[in-house]
Chains A and B, each alone.
Chain A
């Protein structure tokens, strides 16, 4: 008999046709899956450095990030206590890591752990990228008590206290928003004076 079970039994190599075929199948399947995995790796773009990397330099002037004045220099005289705007360093608005929230409060309201030396005449600035999942934070202004205004991320309601170094007052944000130094220049515009005091962007890994 040439084919079939009888032939299998007759083989002397100690391996049946069935086992041999199964082995070939498993080996080729492993090879095919392995090559698929290699192809999958091609689909993953190289890491670019990743995350939020700021390009703010001390001395950069602040400009409005949105609204009718977008791109215009911030003027200290246009702020009342309890006001806040989103701002970019002039000419560097294409990098979302550069987005900051500039807030004007009563200087007497500032309490630790705020970096007092990074504030000027009630002006304080923080990264505007929520440390939870990267949404842009908003300003919740209290019209009756401007000093009681606060910063909130509308995505998952993390609340930050601007007078206390953007300490997390509620919600899922793991760490405060990083502070960055600002001062009022001689011509009344606002200028960055330092780098961020801590990590910016979502703290997910």
Chain B
């Protein structure tokens, strides 16, 4: 009796295969972006396990090569000294960037192909939640090495949280375990980073995938004619196992190869260069995905504050809380503003949707311009002028895309409403 038969008699593996592993996956290269995010998350969990065995979540001062430094900082320096320690830490950091990049491009794919339309509104919201939580995960990870960079970045976020009207004082003390820098902050961030946020992420990822299994994947438009010719309603694609499984596995192994290669050769977050916390703040910029908020904080005039219902709205609240909050709110509303009566099973061609596509192009250029605003000091552009450039570029991207797409569709005689 083979091992397979032994397990099969108990777990009914053949039945499982017949029911789940033959599920159909529609194929399209961009359908791998979500998998890229999932695989990066797996890499993060595995490398995180390694780091968790060696990291010390405490700011008590200890001696390291004769200097007194916080023990969190000392433990990360010791990780870097290990034969593969620094590579693992860099794989962790690169994977975090890759995960957010993958989530963002996945979101763009969904947006531009209108795959958020009925019946997929719920999964669009779950996906936005995943993006938000991934960014919170990255942010809480910033603090853990407790370098000069970590402390400066977290301190800025602390004062942004504290600046919120009515609840700022309470929320900042809850999240940062007192007034930052307090000795409770690192243990609390460590718990959130390795336990709370990963748990929420795993929950949201499971929900995201369950909904896909229930609703089925959107299909490329080319499937429509083939399907009508067949007269069926069944999904056209390849089965999860072995076809899609093998593609996914080799894709993951390739990604891993690229990330390890980058981790080996490209320095990232060199905490030994930043040093432990000390007076003085060097020129430092956050990782790219926080650049829009960072740049926006530079653009807002310092005297732009007003009172509402006894609460003071400061520029810091506008740049650090209201601005990103509005971005997420607008994104969340998209499937409810672009409403469809009938369920949509096929992805749309972005060229056929001038209104939505041009809005997306405008939003993308706007975010890029606010990211560029993070560099006004090296570009020698004043905040006022940079604000002007950002508004102009956004309007230009939106109107030019819209006009061009309208013309494109008129020439082809396409009947395009929006």
Chain A residues closer than 8 Å to B169, beta-carbon distance: 47, 50, 205
A180 to chain B, nearest CB (A): 16
A132, B319: Cα distance in complex, Å: 12
Chain A residues closer than 8 Å to B305, beta-carbon distance: 174
Chain A residues closer than 8 Å to B84, beta-carbon distance: none
A155, B293: Cα distance in complex, Å: 13
Q: Report yes or no: B281 in contact with A155, Cβ–Cβ below 8 A.
A: yes
A51, B168: Cα distance in complex, Å: 13
Asked if A135 meets B155 with Cβ closer than 8 Å, knowing A48-B178, A154-B282, the reply is yes
Q: Report yes or no: B279 in contact with A157, Cβ–Cβ below 8 A.
A: no
Q: For A88, give the chain B residue with the smallest CB separation.
A: B279
Instruction: State which of A136, A170, A172 has its C-beta within 8 Å of the C-beta of B297.
Output: A172
Segment of B109-117, B204-212, B235-243, B308-316 in the binding face: B308-316
- Is residue A190 contacting chain B, with contact meaning CB distance below 8 A? no
- Is residue B125 contacting chain A, with contact meaning CB distance below 8 A? no
A157, B383: Cα distance in complex, Å: 10
Q: Report yes or no: B315 in contact with A44, Cβ–Cβ below 8 A.
A: no
Q: List 16 A-B contacts (CB under 8 A).
A: A43-B174, A44-B173, A44-B174, A45-B182, A47-B173, A133-B297, A134-B158, A135-B156, A136-B281, A155-B284, A171-B302, A172-B298, A172-B300, A172-B302, A202-B316, A204-B159
Q: Report yes or no: B302 in contact with A136, Cβ–Cβ below 8 A.
A: no
Interface string of A97-123 (1 = CB under 8 A from B): 001000000000000000000000000
Q: Report yes or no: B284 in contact with A205, Cβ–Cβ below 8 A.
A: no
- Is residue B37 contacting chain A, with contact meaning CB distance below 8 A? no
A195 to chain B, nearest CB (A): 20
Q: For B171, give the chain A residue with the smallest CB separation.
A: A44
Interface string of B286-326 (1 = CB under 8 A from A): 00000000100111111101000000101110010000000
A54 to chain B, nearest CB (A): 14
Chain B residues closer than 8 Å to A204, beta-carbon distance: 159-160, 162-163, 168, 314, 316
Asked if A136 meets B178 with Cβ closer than 8 Å, knowing A172-B300, A204-B162, the reply is no
B25 to chain A, nearest CB (A): 40
Q: For B315, give the chain A residue with the smallest CB separation.
A: A172
Q: Report yes or no: A154 in contact with B281, Cβ–Cβ below 8 A.
A: yes
Which residues of A35-53 have CB atoms within 8 Å of chain B's CB atoms? 40, 43-45, 47-48, 50-51
A174, B300: Cα distance in complex, Å: 11
Instruction: State which of B280, B314, B316 has its C-beta within 8 Å of the C-beta of A66.
Output: B280
Instruction: State which of B163, B179, B294 has its C-beta within 8 Å of the C-beta of A50.
Output: B179
List the interface of chain B (C-beta within 8 A of A).
152, 155-156, 158-160, 162-163, 168-170, 173-174, 177-179, 182, 184, 278-284, 294, 297-303, 305, 312, 314-316, 319, 376-377, 382-383
Q: Report yes or no: A133 in contact with B177, Cβ–Cβ below 8 A.
A: no
A61, B309: Cα distance in complex, Å: 46
B38 to chain A, nearest CB (A): 31
Q: Report yes or no: B184 in contact with A45, Cβ–Cβ below 8 A.
A: yes
Known A66-B280, A155-B152; further 14 A-B contacts with Cβ < 8 A: A45-B177, A48-B178, A65-B280, A128-B279, A133-B160, A134-B155, A134-B156, A134-B159, A154-B282, A154-B377, A170-B382, A172-B300, A174-B305, A204-B168
Asked if A205 meets B279 with Cβ closer than 8 Å, knowing A154-B284, A174-B302, the reply is no
Asked if A96 meets B279 with Cβ closer than 8 Å, knowing A156-B297, A172-B315, the reply is yes
Chain A residues closer than 8 Å to B284, beta-carbon distance: 154-155
A175 to chain B, nearest CB (A): 8
Interface string of A151-193 (1 = CB under 8 A from B): 0011111100000000010111111000000000000000000
- Is residue A200 contacting chain B, with contact meaning CB distance below 8 A? no
Q: Report yes or no: B280 in contact with A86, Cβ–Cβ below 8 A.
A: yes
Asked if A133 meets B159 with Cβ closer than 8 Å, knowing A50-B179, A157-B298, A168-B302, the reply is yes
- Is residue A138 contacting chain B, with contact meaning CB distance below 8 A? yes
Chain A residues closer than 8 Å to B280, beta-carbon distance: 65-66, 86, 136, 138
Closest 7 CB pairs of A and B: A204-B163, A45-B178, A135-B281, A174-B302, A136-B281, A154-B283, A202-B159
A127 to chain B, nearest CB (A): 12
Q: Report yes or no: A133 in contact with B173, Cβ–Cβ below 8 A.
A: no
Q: Report yes or no: A40 in contact with B174, Cβ–Cβ below 8 A.
A: yes
A65, B376: Cα distance in complex, Å: 29
Chain B residues closer than 8 Å to A43, beta-carbon distance: 174, 177
A202, B174: Cα distance in complex, Å: 19
A99, B281: Cα distance in complex, Å: 12
Chain A residues closer than 8 Å to B282, beta-carbon distance: 138, 154
A132, B281: Cα distance in complex, Å: 14
Q: For A87, give the chain B residue with the smallest CB separation.
A: B279
Instruction: State which of B162, B294, B299, B301 has its C-beta within 8 Å of the C-beta of A205.
Output: B162
A133, B301: Cα distance in complex, Å: 14
Q: For A132, give the chain B residue with the smallest CB separation.
A: B302
Q: Report yes or no: A133 in contact with B174, Cβ–Cβ below 8 A.
A: no
Most buried by A among B179, B280, B303, B314: B280
A205, B314: Cα distance in complex, Å: 8
Q: Report yes or no: B160 in contact with A156, Cβ–Cβ below 8 A.
A: no
Asked if A205 meets B163 with Cβ closer than 8 Å, knowing A44-B170, A45-B173, A153-B281, the reply is yes
Q: For B317, give the chain A residue with the smallest CB separation.
A: A204
Q: For B374, give the chain A residue with the smallest CB separation.
A: A156
Chain B residues closer than 8 Å to A132, beta-carbon distance: 302, 316
